[in-house]
A and B are shown apart, each in its own frame.
Chain A
């Protein structure tokens, strides 16, 4: 029997630890004499600290020290030392650097005490006087000063092609509308935390909430001038992140600083309000003009995006590339400008740019389909693209048509009456909407290590992360299948800076990136095992090449004659090896350069809208995904479901409210920043269509972290239109906008 692991609905290998409370997160590692740090946040958005009086706080018995810009240790002096792997162009924020206040809730002091209760209390006794300057947080007011950054963090807007203005003017049907969404915060369930453990002799071990331990390690080395061997960063479990853990957040800086200064272990956990102080999905306003001919051919796209950024970094994301990815159009013009505000720099949040741009584009396409008088699905299929026009390359694979076919059938789309307000049940207007989307399927370089012991246990490792996505599980599956071992004999290790390098977990690239590295290292291990077998002269494997052997059922055997086999345990024992170890570094193949790799999805949505009260219920969702090879249906299904519910949140609920009187996000807790609750969710069906892709990476996998969310909000907005006849172009679609 061949040990098939890839594609199996394997339960999570970390499931038991997580249901018993044994999985430990960054705030759950302890140390002798652990001290507790609490961060003091600024009360103003812009200005200077005139005076900070810590004397009363210092008098509290049990307070060990209070760190401010006045007494902090010497830090690195160049921006580059503070720039992390995910830093946008600009000058990164430096905690406690000086008295300047750049944004509201800026960390301005750290109180360290013997207990958490004492630290929290003492933090409330720190008195701060400010020299307040006028802040600008009003996006609309500042939009007139929007600018094109010198350097984009995202893809720079492609040059226009065709004659967009003329084509638009001459088009038979036109729409020109403005779409927007507010700032939103990631709000993973785990609040950002770091436990820095003093190991003596200037060495520290840090448990950090981060989407890539190497990013934290490099940051600490750069900012505090520590050598690599003196800093080890661990992050075995992460309580969700969604982008919030891409950059080292200030709790890491604080915990490390205090540990180095006090020569004592320190833990710093942010509060939920402080989770609103270090990056968010930027408020974005998009102006979209589309033109179509009488027969429904998309003739022109003019797409301008305005998105918020901070005063010190130019954050940008891929908002305007989607027309070129999703539709065939001869005349396109795109621009992306930034609006600088006195806020912290925005930060990649699940499908950054994609959810934003696709929301606007897919609502506009829906509006245009109504102008043309075509079914929205038919209209999209008519303008289907087979190449990415932004870069003029074919897709590595694109089974989007199959998504439409299967999705529409399961949803029952053919029974739809296009007329808005044509379906109702009692007070409820019922609407059906659709949208499609895409997300880039990237592979990045990554290392991995494999160790096989004579007991037949395989340990594979890489410094990647598992932020809940299932990295532990799918990597174990890949390794188990490659080496023909039962999954119980395989352990995958991650979240440790001493392991082979791997990029941040983000961008939906971990399955493809780390998966390819795991596959490669297992292949190398196979080669090494074959060499080992060939060391003995009478080996039946003496003259065979690696292509002629396979690993299965714990054995290495000949493909042609499976009776020629040797158990791996026996192979190691016969050669007096306790273990065999290999390392490998995988890189994307050159061939990928010639293609544009994307995953695709179509989402069909049914909403019920109370005609009088405006309450909206998403009663049915069908999400059909072309995401390459599915490594594990259970983890994959869950990723898409989670994405769908994020889409519901984005469409109907999530809104970080900026109060311009204070320049402060004012609904900064989970009571008033609404994320979807269990009762918001109803029927959700997920379809993965077959999609073979031999180009995207050696596994043919595309990643599923973001593709699940991108099409959901526009599909909901379109369904709300179909139900009510009202186009709501400003998210979230709360009841007051439809009643």
Chain B
């Protein structure tokens, strides 16, 4: 690990000013991903600002009837929070499908969104990777790409975003509140993560000098009809090959609104509002779900080792919707 200096921020203003003024500065919270990447020199901050003791660790009701998750609330505290469990069980389930108890005890909600990809090549500094070292090339395209993207990838990068939590947040249409030297702003989750394009080194639209302060959950939690389905290579503690966060708003067996977000298939949680709209006013049934699933993967393109994800995504969407609608055998 490269040497770095360390300070502990006392308030958000000083944290912002430090991160914007000191070269190579980076914020650390749970650190569960950042430190791993620092150990292997994938990330090399020169200065760490520890924000874990800032007062951003509460979960509060919003005036709009939603919940505001402080950026420093741990994943464990979020998943087991009574309000989250009751009103946003989709979020609880997604969080608990990821990482492990020890990591969830430490990892924060803000940090979860900022996880880096788990692409093998990104992790191995002796290989080419445009995300780690722009311009060196993408080893995954012609390498082992079983865990890689089938949607939204570019010739520069086919990495996926590893978070489960973010997939649920995408389905819930969470809003990310951030602050920086230019003041505060709110980024809809759909715009928070980016597609790789020709700048895969940028995972998100958060500026380098901005800090996430909270995640806002709108009032609609799909607590009656939801599912988080995660397919992976072992029963627990593995990243998703394909995951689906699904929420349905139903009246009787008729769907009023549908949200479907996919994980493990793209550089960001994948939504397709047009495909979701196919379900409005439709009866919940396998026959009606299939065209939606087909629409989601219509533009998918696989590589040598991951083409199976296209069919898997399709089947997973159908399964998730069946489960959410409670018509699964």
Contact = CB atoms under 8 A, between A and B. Distances in A.
Interface in B117-150: 118, 120-121, 123-124, 126-127, 139, 142-144, 147
Interface string A644-661: 000000001100010101
B1 interface: yes
Interface stretch (B81-89, B174-182, B235-243, B275-283): B235-243
B315 A735 contact: no
B139 A678 contact: no
B234 to A, nearest CB: 5
Contacts of A426: 329
B235 A735 contact: no
B143 A672 contact: no
B184 interface: no
B308 A739 contact: yes
Contacts of A138: none
Contacts of B239: 671
Given A120-B1, A427-B329, A664-B126, A677 B237 contact: yes
A671 B238 CA distance: 7
B315 A613 contact: yes
B316 interface: yes
A121 B139 CA distance: 26
Nearest to A44: B126
Nearest to A671: B118
Contacts of B231: 613, 615, 735
B312 A614 contact: yes
A43 B126 contact: yes
Nearest to A737: B308
Contact-residue size bin, chain B (C-beta under 8 Å from the other chain): 20 to 34
A680 B126 contact: no
B251 interface: no
B241 A735 contact: yes
B1 A117 contact: yes
B41 interface: yes
Contacts of B65: none
A612 interface: yes
B241 A677 contact: no
A669 B123 contact: yes
B214 to A, nearest CB: 29
B153 interface: no
Nearest to A682: B235
A672 B121 CA distance: 12
A739 B236 contact: no
A517 B84 CA distance: 63
A681 to B, nearest CB: 9
Contacts of B236: 677-680
Given A120-B1, A657-B144, A677-B237, A739 B118 contact: no
Contact-residue size bin, chain A (C-beta under 8 Å from the other chain): 35 or more
Contacts of B308: 735-736, 739
Contact of B120 (A427, A667, A679): A667
Nearest to A104: B126
A612 B143 contact: no
Most chain A beta-carbon contacts within 10 A, residue among B2, B143, B239: B143
A666 interface: yes
A617 B235 CA distance: 8
A667 B239 CA distance: 13
B2 A121 contact: yes
Contacts of A678: 236
Contacts of B121: 666
Contacts of B123: 669
A672 B233 CA distance: 10
Contacts of A158: none
Contacts of B127: 659, 661-662, 664, 666
B237 A666 contact: no
B311 interface: yes
Interface string A99-125: 000000000000000000100110010
A679 B236 CA distance: 6
B164 to A, nearest CB: 15
A339 B121 CA distance: 27
A661 B2 contact: no
A433 B116 CA distance: 41
Contacts of A653: 233-234
B319 A612 contact: yes
Interface in B145-169: 147
Interface string B209-253: 000000000000000000000010111111101000000000000
Interface string A576-592: 00000000000000000
Contacts of B315: 612-613, 739
Contact of A613 (B3, B234, B312, B329): B312
A10 interface: no
A674 B238 contact: yes
Contact of A680 (B120, B139, B234, B241): B234
A117 B1 CA distance: 7
Interface string A672-694: 10101111100000000000000
Nearest to B308: A736
Nearest to B236: A679
Nearest to B309: A736
A734 interface: yes
B311 A739 contact: yes
A735 B241 CA distance: 10
B139 to A, nearest CB: 6
A653 B1 CA distance: 31
Contacts of B147: 672
Contacts of A273: 124
B311 A672 contact: no
Contact of B312 (A617, A664, A677, A739): A739
A652 to B, nearest CB: 8
A4 B85 CA distance: 56
Interface string B309-323: 001100110110000
Interface string A181-201: 000000000000000000000
A659 B235 contact: no
Given A120-B1, A666-B124, A739-B311, 20 more contacts: A121-B1, A121-B2, A426-B329, A427-B319, A613-B231, A613-B315, A653-B233, A661-B139, A662-B139, A664-B124, A666-B121, A669-B123, A672-B118, A677-B236, A678-B236, A679-B236, A680-B234, A735-B241, A736-B308, A739-B315
28 contacts: A120-B39, A124-B41, A273-B124, A427-B329, A612-B318, A613-B315, A614-B312, A615-B231, A653-B233, A659-B127, A659-B143, A661-B139, A661-B142, A664-B124, A664-B126, A666-B124, A666-B144, A667-B144, A669-B123, A671-B118, A677-B235, A677-B236, A677-B237, A678-B236, A679-B234, A735-B241, A736-B312, A739-B315
